[in-house]
Amino acid sequence: MSRMTNRSLPGSAPGTAAPGAGAPGPAPSLMAGPRPGTGAEPAKNAPSGGPWGPRTGRGKPGRTSPLARGGWTPWLYLAPALVVIGGLLVYPVYQLGLISFLEYTQAQVSGGEPTTFQGFGNYATLFRDEQFWQVLLATVVFAAACVVSTLAVGCALAVLLTRVRAVPRLALMLAALGAWATPAVTGSTVWLLLFDPDFGPVNRVLGLGDHSWTYDRFSAFALVLLEVVWCSFPFVMVTVYAGIRAVPSEVLEAASLDGASQWRVWRSVLAPMLRPILVVVTIQSVIWDFKVFTQIYVMTNGGGIAGQNLVLNVYAYQKAFASSQYSLGSAIGVVMLLILLAVTLVYLRLLRKQGEEL
């Protein structure tokens, strides 16, 4: 928000702006609508000082018609962003939905057979498939375990970061950033090698002989969980650490003067203050972990022994691309989208309710 300072605007209308933007008078003050984050081309807007008007001017000119007070101007600025979002988000989701209602396999793509409308046929096939329900359950449980572990590890290490000296802090930061920067395929392969029955150092250190970690369903999931936590905790840690740093030190001092324990400080002071950050990292983690693909695909060789380690995303891939049933894969994609939307909405709702009570 600090960027929304008073600047002379009319002369600095960016090249992308529509003609109306140059209108003098109340127009600039009403351009506070679009925020920098929503602009698809902030780089283009930024050099000219940005079209954002002084915040104080918002809504001042009484209730005249939107056109007269330049009500459409924000939308003109938003138009490029909307077009990009429409092209990159709405259109693919629309296609996904459309394909899920068709019979669309390789034969239809390459014109060997005509594309036919199936109604909810693909969904019926999917919901009748016993394996789908098993995979769905496995995905939900696995994602939940990943989210909880990632948040626990990330928050614990964030608190630890605030407690240690500069050198260990730097070391921990570097280690975390290294894990963060490692591509998922590389990370998975390395973890697999660490736990390799024949050559892996883990078995050698633990003296487990040639125990195979990927044979049993739960140990295979646990192994993948370790990798997922390892590569996603840095995001939580860094974000929460930044949040803790922003908490005024007087508050923490006051708490410790009152004799609060570490745990108490976290629970009653830090966590409530960090709520917005925790909400963001939780939702991010839910979405990431629900969509885990690479780790399962690489570490369990495409879904494990007899498909025991399949999660929805890998299952959708197997259906859509390995066996070219694009329409069935799309149906799985739509189901995943709806589940994630529902989970996110419910979660936000819950938080808001809690917030009101607090």
Point out which residues bind other proteins (CB under 8 A): 33, 65-67, 71-72, 74-75, 78-79, 82-83, 86, 90-91, 94-95, 98-99, 102, 104, 106-115, 197, 210-212, 214-216, 301-302, 305-307, 318-319, 322-325
Phi, psi (deg, nearest 5) at residue 176: -65, -40
Closest CB to other proteins among residues 5, 106: 106
Exposure class string for 150-184: b at 16+ Cβ within 10 A, else e? bbebbbebbbebeeeeeeeeeebbeebeebbeeeb
Cβ atoms within 10 A of the Cβ of 288, count? 17
Q: How far is the CB of 301 from other proteins (least distance, A)?
A: 6
CB 13 within 8 A of CB 27: no
Q: Which is nearer to other proteins, 73 or 285 (CB)?
A: 73
Nearest distance, CB of residue 286 and other proteins, angstroms: 25
Q: Which is nearer to other proteins, 84 or 144 (CB)?
A: 84
Provide, rounded to whole angstroms, the least separation between the CB of residue 304 and other proteins.
8
> Which residue do the tokens 């919901």 mark?
127
Query: Rounded CA gap, 101 and 328, in Å?
Result: 9
Backbone angles phi, psi at 116, to 5 degrees: -120, 150
User: What minimum distance in Å lies between the beta carbon of 347 and other proteins?
Assistant: 24
The residue (of 94 and 120) whose beta carbon lies closer to other proteins is: 94
Closest approach of Cβ 32 to other proteins, in Å? 13
Of the pair 269, 319, the CB lying nearest other proteins is at: 319
By beta-carbon proximity to other proteins, the closer residue of 209 and 248 is 209
Give the whole-angstrom CA distance, residue 265 versus residue 249.
Answer: 12
The least CB distance from residue 75 to other proteins, in Å, is 5
Cβ proximity to other proteins, 28 vs 154, nearer residue: 28
Neighbouring C-beta atoms of residue 312, cutoff 10 Å: 24
Shortest distance, CB of residue 220 to other proteins, whole angstroms?
10
In angstroms, the Cα distances linking 27 to 13, 53, 109 are 11, 9, 50
Q: Which is nearer to other proteins, 38 or 261 (CB)?
A: 38
| The three-state (H, E, C) secondary structure of 158-175, written as one string | HHHHHHCCHHHHHHHHHH
For 356, the token pair is 């009101």
Query: From CA 237, how far away is CA 149, in angstroms rounded?
Result: 12
Minimum distance from residue 116 beta carbon to other proteins (Å): 11
Whats the size of the chain, residue-wise? 358
> Distance between CA atoms of 262 and 265, rounded to whole angstroms?
5
